[in-house]
Structure 1
Amino acid sequence: MPTAQASGASLSRPADRTLTALLFRKLMPLLVLAYVISFVDRTNIALAKAHIAVDLGISAGAYGLGAGLFFLSYALLEVPSNLIMHRVGARFWIARIMVTWGALSAAMAFVQGPTSFYVMRVLLGAAEAGLFPGVMLYLTYWFGQEDRARAIGYFLLGVCIANIVSGPLGGALLEMNGMLGFKGWQWMFMIEGVPAVLLAFVVWKKLPDGPESAPWLTQAQVHEVRQRLGTEAGSHSANGGHAFLAALRDRQVWLAIFIYFCHQIAIYTVIFFLPGIIGTYGKLTPVQIGLLNSLPWIAAAVGAAWLPKYANTAQRGRRLLLIGLVVMAAGLLIAASAGPVLALVGFSLTALMFFVVQSIVFVFPASRLKGAALAGGLAIINTCGLVGGFIGPSVMGMIEQTTGSTHYGLVVIAVLLLAAAVGAPFMRQGHE
């Protein structure tokens, strides 16, 4: 690796690119793996839906409510969780989150009916609260605005990977039905909860709290990272109360909240109901449903890896945000009105833009805040967005139970995405 000419001196352009590549290589694989595991654990009930309906008598409405309750407790605890991480450091707090959510995810195997289902989903949401906004905050310690959308896009690949692998994996675990007296869905919850606990110990040993504690950076490289960020990362000595209120007074934060709220309604409705929708396409085994469920997430992975890098200026970010929201809406309208093959194409079109939109939304407010305002502001955006994660599945479950179809629910979500697209051109970064 090229070295700096002197401590504190600016790195040459090739060395600058080398440092960025080093940060991506050292940080992103572990963060992405953590998000893969978290998404497998929070969404595996989608594959268990039909089975717990038979074994526990959980209706479509009760399932939708339980799926959404995760996000209610998650949302309520996100801001305090992020403010705690701002004080105690990422390494300890992310490891703590992973241990508690892994244990509770495994304990989902022992739910007995709707009430215990609701309770466990609330506890799981509380345990995992803060992971996503915590990582959004953590990335501001390392990457400037030019690279942050790409870093967020790579992190969101975790969702795509989770949904690609969880379908076939969950389908295979469901086939263990009856082994040692446990149902297939019980095996799925128990086995899929273990990796989070194991990875927590890796996070504790390997994840640095910031550039200064990274053993793989030289002093010159630490200085260069700090020089790049300037005031973006914020001051840890900032007054938390006043700084957080500053985030709430920023209209751009509220615009980001509205766009992200509509986005989260769409993504979590698809996550929790797509396997069930695919199940109506014919007589399919759990493994076949899982494989077909993976197709839109392959498209999402392509979008997350390919497109966010083009949002390297404010103008390009706004343009890509607008296009992404419109494409998502169009895909859902196709899925709502077409036959099985075209419906999967529609879902794939929507999924292509899932994490393009999500990675860009967080870049705009992050460029305007610092310190505790940054920690709290990112958390409040994700908190309000995840209220959409509660509302979307809950309303979709009621619509399906009332009408016997998901058609109208998908149309309503498409309209919300178009409303969010109207706000996209008005997003502004801190220097504008």
Structure 2
Amino acid sequence: MSNHHSSAPRASSPAQSSLNKLLIRKLMPLLVIVYVISFLDRTNIALAKHSMGIDLGMSAAAYGLGAGLFFLTYAAFEIPSNLVMHKVGARFWITRIMITWGLLSIGMAFVRGETSFYVMRLLLGAAEAGLFPGVMLYLTYWFGREERARATGYFLLGVCIANIVGGPLGGALLELDGALGFHGWQWLFVIEGLPAVLLAWVVWKKLPDRPTKAPWLARDEAEALERRLAAEQDSHAPGRGAHSFGACLRDRQVWLAIFVYFCHQLTIYTVIFFLPGIIGASGKFSPFTIGLLSATPWLAAAAGAATLPRFASNSARSRRILIGGLVVMASGLLLAAYATPAIGLLGVCLSASMFFVVQSIIFTFPSSRLSGSALAGGLGLVNSCGLLGGFVGPTVMGMIEQSTGRAMNGLILLAAALLVAALVSVRLRHGAEERARTVASPAHKTV
């Protein structure tokens, strides 16, 4: 059976390859920098945990709850944020997101206890809501399905860079403790919050809403690209209702992707928020050294994100890579839970090598099945529901650490969740693949 049933017009391979390289070169560096800064501001409380807890008298459970509360408001505002961006354009909306989250990140320096900590984390989540699914939607305006996983992989390098740079940078800022009467964790929030506000101006000036708004694309080339992508979305959608938001709520494949993404996010945010504390528990390292060691898994994550997503060129390959990546993540966490600290850090690195390989592929499944407002809302739905894992993971880990005195015990539970997600992933299908299976079934054959 041939997979080339789509009626979408396609550019010649050399011309399309050249265009994709131009799009990646023009769009991805700025988007990656945006994501680097967003992740620094979202996760810098991991490094601030120890000294902030002492200064404010916060317990591990209170910290875990505060770390997770970000994701409640983030999830609640994802879908409306993405629908607004679909209407007003990426340039305006991403600029707005950056200004509000940057100012609130700076405001984190002035929390005075558990209540203000909780409130600021809730506000920060609401401010940043829509950035990731907004970029996932934005990439559908520029890249076809076969190139989207690769572009997403490049975008997710921002998380790796943020954690590679953020560890040493945050450790160095913590050592400013006492300068001008500020605690080190206050310097951390102020200095890492300012770049978001400043970069918002660059986004406003440089980020085109869509191909026909890009000054560096010829008009006919931009119009042809938009026509090709629109035709591809129409031809890959398995049903006529794929343009309405209700379609994503009725699509079983969307809910399968949500479950897999939830288990993925359980893992990634638990590692982000608790790895510095696990390393620092030995009492042998300075804040700067803890930051350096915390950065090592993200080198492995960067290598995976830069090399493997490009091989997810069709539905079957995407599924195999996704399942394999989830199993590798689970194996790495089990190794970290049972091995010595040095080997355990290697286990976390093994797990991290698949973090963004898995994430870049998950979003290709719902995005291949929906279009229009359904696509905008569907990507928001997947991200918002999946990101509840970012609330559940740190909250449960905080409780486990407080009750058992050992944060590593929670890694076994995470590994089990990842193995269940790998089993569920067997059932995931891209829209074009499911349409081909439906057309080939005996019930749809005509005599």
Contact 2:60 2:401 (C-alpha < 8 Å) held by counterparts? yes
Q: Identify unmatched segments of 5+ residues in structure 2.
A: 1-8, 235-239, 434-447
Instruction: String of CA shifts for 1:208-248, please: whole Å, max 9, x gaps.
Output: 000110000002321331243133567xxxx9998111111
After superposition, the C-alpha distances for 1:65-86 in whole angstroms (9 at most, x for unaligned) are: 0000000000000000000000
* Residue pairs, 1:15-414, within 5 angstroms: 15-232=15-232, 243-414=244-415
Identity %: 68
Change over 3 Å in CA distance of 1:232–1:14 after alignment to 2: closer
Q: Does the 8 A contact of 1:331 with 1:349 survive in 2?
A: yes
SS of equivalent residue, structure 1 residue 193: helix
The alpha-carbon distance between structure 1 residues 147 and 10, as it changes in their structure 2 partners (threshold 3 A), is closer
Deviation at 1:408, TM superposition (A): 2.1
- Distance in 2 (alpha carbons) for counterparts of 1:10 and 1:405: 55
Q: 1:145 to 1:242 in 2, by over 3 A?
A: closer
SS of equivalent residue, structure 1 residue 51: helix
* Distance (Å, rounded) in 2 between the aligned partners of 1:289 and 1:178: 20
Aligned partner of residue 217 in structure 1, secondary structure: coil
| Counterparts in 2 of 1:240 and 1:369: CA distance versus 1, 3 Å | closer
Cα drift, residue 10 of structure 1: 7.1
1:412-431 matches, within 5 Å, as 412-431=413-432
Alignment CA distance shift 1:50-1:241 (3 Å): same
Report the 3-state secondary structure (helix = DSSP H, G, I; strand = E; otherwise coil) of the residue aligned with 1:164. Answer: helix
Question: C-alpha distance in 1, partners of 2:255/2:12?
Answer: 39
**Hey, what does 2:439 align to over in structure 1?**
none
Aligned to 1:4: none
* 1:282 Cα deviation from its structure 2 partner: 4.1
* Stretch moving more, 281-290 or 140-149: 281-290
TM-score (norm 2): 0.92
Q: Which has the higher mean CA deviation after the structures are superposed, 10-19 or 266-275?
A: 10-19
2:237 maps to which residue?
none
Write the distance in 1 (CA, Å) between the matches of 2:389 and 2:280: 25
The answer as to whether partners of 2:91 and 2:208 remain within 8 angstroms in 1 is yes
C-alpha separation between the residues in 1 aligned to 2:140 and 2:243? 20
Residue in 2 aligned with 1:3?
A: none
Query: For the residues of structure 2 that align with 1:292 and 1:321, how far apart are their CA atoms?
Result: 27
Residue type of the alignment partner of 1:175: E
Given that 1:145 and 1:363 are in contact with CA atoms closer than 8 Å, whether structure 2 keeps it comes out as yes
3-state secondary structure, aligned to 2:431: coil
Shift, 1:281, TM fit: 3.4
Which residue pairs with 2:3 in the alignment?
A: none
Distance, in Å, in 1 between the alignment partners of 2:392 and 2:232 is: 33
Which of structure 1's runs of 4+ aligned residues deviate more than 4 A? 9-12, 239-242
CA RMSD of aligned residues (A): 1.7
Classify 1:11/1:324 alpha carbon distance in 2 versus 1 (closer, same or farther; 3 Å). closer
**SS state at 1:231 partner:** helix
Q: 1:372 to 1:10 in 2, by over 3 A?
A: closer
Q: What amino acid is aligned across from residue 112 of structure 1 in structure 2?
A: R
> Aligned pair count?
421
- Structure 1 counterpart SS, 2:244: helix
Return the alpha-carbon distance in structure 2 between the equivalents of residues 169 and 194 of structure 1: 14
Say whether the 8 Å CA contact 1:212–1:222 is kept in structure 2: yes
One-letter code aligned to 1:310:
F
CA contact (8 A) 2:150 2:310 kept: yes
Counterparts of 1:11 and 1:388 in 2: how far apart (Å)?
A: 40
Secondary structure of 1:109 counterpart: helix
Contact 2:243 / 2:371 at 8 angstroms: preserved in 1?
no
> What's the offset of the Cα at 1:17?
1.3
Q: Deviations over 1:342-379 (max 9, x none)?
A: 01100000100000000000001100000000000000
Q: Distance in 1 between matches of 2:49 and 2:412?
A: 23
Deviation at 1:15, TM superposition (A): 2.3
Give the counterpart letter for 1:368 in structure 2: R
Asked if the contact 1:65–1:397 (Cα under 8 Å) also holds between the matched residues in 2, the reply is yes
**TM-score where L is the length of structure 1:** 0.95
The answer as to whether partners of 2:244 and 2:374 remain within 8 angstroms in 1 is: yes
Q: Distance in 2 between matches of 1:27 and 1:209?
A: 11
Secondary structure of the residue aligned to 2:432 is: coil
Give the letter aligned to residue 259 of structure 1: V
Q: Which amino acid aligns with 1:402?
A: S
Q: Does the CA contact (< 8 Å) of 2:10 and 2:228 recur in 1?
A: no
CA distance in 2, matches of 1:242, 1:25: 30
